[in-house]
Structure 1
């Protein structure tokens, strides 16, 4: 794919692609209850596609490895990806339905999501491996999530790490069973929210201290940086520092940007996409984290998943005023 606008840095995304069906209502129904909604949208989604979109809008050249079906939803999602200048040469086109996410959002911006993988389940380790061997896939940062089969995610982190690509893992959704200990040796940066950190580490994350403890769980297993996001409370970063065998951890709290939340869907994807793009551009860690937090903050001010992912210029203007 030839890009028609200048791109800064190159990002590879390996993850899910869905069509997001989102309903908005004043409140979410109780079990067995029906409520009347206000709005409905049908747009590109999936954590892989959303993070690819976020990184592309942040200014990076982006390639996506994933899987879709052969139904009408696949036409919608592939069309949107093409419009957003994302290379989809390594997206599988299989038989059957494209993945679906059913999202409900209430008036306080809280949401719940049921993600049905469907075609995403067909993304195999073999396809990931073959795609990573393609000479045209030239990236310095990879964004990987867990809405794809776990053996494919493992192949992704191993393959990227062995090629010298910085691996950023968004561990969502948190797996039912613990990931192999080997998995963490290939991850450079992990970005769990409070819930994901609790489910993966067994540590209840309620404040800065418990977030730091959960972050150390990841760094103890080989991850260089753990960014535990705390929604309205910001983020706690735990970093491994020092030489191998003489390592310690450095902990820092990063306050959030204050915004009026409308819908929190895809805030984590905006964070990951902007983080990966900024690092691929060559910005420092502190600069990249600041852009990521700004991207996540801006995302919650707009309803919907992919529509909420901010453009680079929007992030620039937002940060210029702070």
Structure 2
């Protein structure tokens, strides 16, 4: 029997992939000083890769479009993505180094300092990314984008996704000035309160200011603005409704991948046909769970874990 009528539930993530190298100790060495640290960890990072892991763990058939280098770190990244169930047919190996984040964490305060070396992420050109998108778009519903690859690539992919009838979800991080043309190709934009303030010029401190910032994005062409606000939850702003969805109180351990967990689970839920508020509720639960665990991609929960978390709140 033909499966041609099967629902299109695939998520495509176009973005960055890094390997995180994290050294923890206290105090952090000052210039010219050498100290013995407490802990070292190496793992998958980069907003694109993290969101791909989140979408896959949320149950979506997930394809990743990005670039790694021809070094040992590429092996680490590829293994982690495959372990999470992400399809890597459009992950390109290029000459040079894989993206790396070198992180120093003060064990006493939790403060960190980070050097990000983009490496191969800079090689994700508009031509390469759009060709990959078109190659895997036939069964897709949602495209997840972030801003850790060249901006011209993000703009080109969003436009191509619109032409292909795909729903574009943009996480505008790290925040930067964006071209006006981009917003008309974005269905859902998901800045955190800090990013919303930087982009809109409206400081987000409460429900009312979150709504004003959300309307700023709608005025520029986005269909839905989701302002994520940490422990306060998220503010949902569309042309027909405004809602403030609260997050469950948790004891946060590490919020590194909470936003990426939110984005990936949101994309997966939307691709599966969930109503917007339901998708946001699931995404909030996923972000909260990720914050209770150390690390980046390794902290991201599965769909079953989110189901159990939501059931426990009823």
- TM > 0.5: yes
Report how far residue 9 of structure 1 moved. Answer: 2.3
Partner of 1:173 in structure 2? Answer: 174
**Alignment match of 2:282 (pick from 279, 291, 295):** 291
Aligned equivalents of 1:168, 1:64: Cα separation in 2 = 15
Report how far residue 102 of structure 1 moved. Answer: 2.4
Partner of 2:164 in structure 1? Answer: 163
Alpha carbons of 1:239 and 1:120: their partners in 2 closer, same or farther (altered >3 Å)?
A: same
Alpha carbons of 1:136 and 1:217: their partners in 2 closer, same or farther (altered >3 Å)?
A: closer
- Unaligned regions of 5+ residues in structure 1, if any? 1-6, 242-249
Q: Which is worse superposed, 275-284 or 32-41?
A: 32-41
- Unaligned regions of 5+ residues in structure 2, if any? 1-6
Partner of 1:247 in structure 2? Answer: none
Q: Which is worse superposed, 130-139 or 257-266?
A: 130-139
Q: Which is worse superposed, 75-84 or 178-187?
A: 75-84
**Alignment match of 2:248 (pick from 228, 235, 257):** 257
Aligned equivalents of 2:166, 2:51: Cα separation in 1 = 17
Report how far residue 187 of structure 1 moved. Answer: 0.3
Partner of 1:117 in structure 2? Answer: 118
> 1:39-91, CA deviations, whole angstroms, 9 ceiling, x for partnerless residues?
22101111000000000001010000001100000011011112222111111
Q: Secondary structure at the match of 2:140?
A: coil
Partner of 1:83 in structure 2? Answer: 83
> 1:213-271, CA deviations, whole angstroms, 9 ceiling, x for partnerless residues?
11111011111111111111111111123xxxxxxxx3211111111111010100000
Does the Cα contact within 8 Å between 1:109 and 1:262 map onto a contact in 2?
A: no
Alpha carbons of 1:8 and 1:151: their partners in 2 closer, same or farther (altered >3 Å)?
A: closer
**Is 1:237 aligned to 2:228, yes or no?**
no
Aligned equivalents of 1:54, 1:121: Cα separation in 2 = 23
> 1:8-57, CA deviations, whole angstroms, 9 ceiling, x for partnerless residues?
92100000000011233467678888776432210111100000000000
Aligned equivalents of 2:134, 2:202: Cα separation in 1 = 38
Does the Cα contact within 8 Å between 1:205 and 1:214 map onto a contact in 2?
A: yes
Does the Cα contact within 8 Å between 1:110 and 1:264 map onto a contact in 2?
A: no
Aligned equivalents of 1:214, 1:46: Cα separation in 2 = 26
Provide the TM-score with structure 2 as the length reference: 0.91
Alpha carbons of 1:74 and 1:209: their partners in 2 closer, same or farther (altered >3 Å)?
A: same
Aligned equivalents of 2:33, 2:224: Cα separation in 1 = 43
Partner of 2:311 in structure 1? Answer: 320
Partner of 2:145 in structure 1? Answer: 144
Partner of 1:134 in structure 2? Answer: 135
Aligned equivalents of 1:27, 1:210: Cα separation in 2 = 38
**Is 1:9 aligned to 2:9, yes or no?**
yes
Aligned equivalents of 1:307, 1:86: Cα separation in 2 = 14
Aligned equivalents of 2:175, 2:140: Cα separation in 1 = 26
Does the Cα contact within 8 Å between 2:8 and 2:141 map onto a contact in 1?
A: no
> 1:273-300, CA deviations, whole angstroms, 9 ceiling, x for partnerless residues?
0000011111111111111000000001
Report how far residue 111 of structure 1 moved. Answer: 4.8
Alpha carbons of 1:233 and 1:32: their partners in 2 closer, same or farther (altered >3 Å)?
A: farther
Aligned equivalents of 1:260, 1:142: Cα separation in 2 = 31
**Is 1:21 aligned to 2:21, yes or no?**
yes
Provide the TM-score with structure 1 as the length reference: 0.89
Report how far residue 138 of structure 1 moved. Answer: 2.3
Report how far residue 195 of structure 1 moved. Answer: 1.5
Report how far residue 115 of structure 1 moved. Answer: 2.3
Richer in helix (by share): 2
Partner of 1:201 in structure 2? Answer: 200
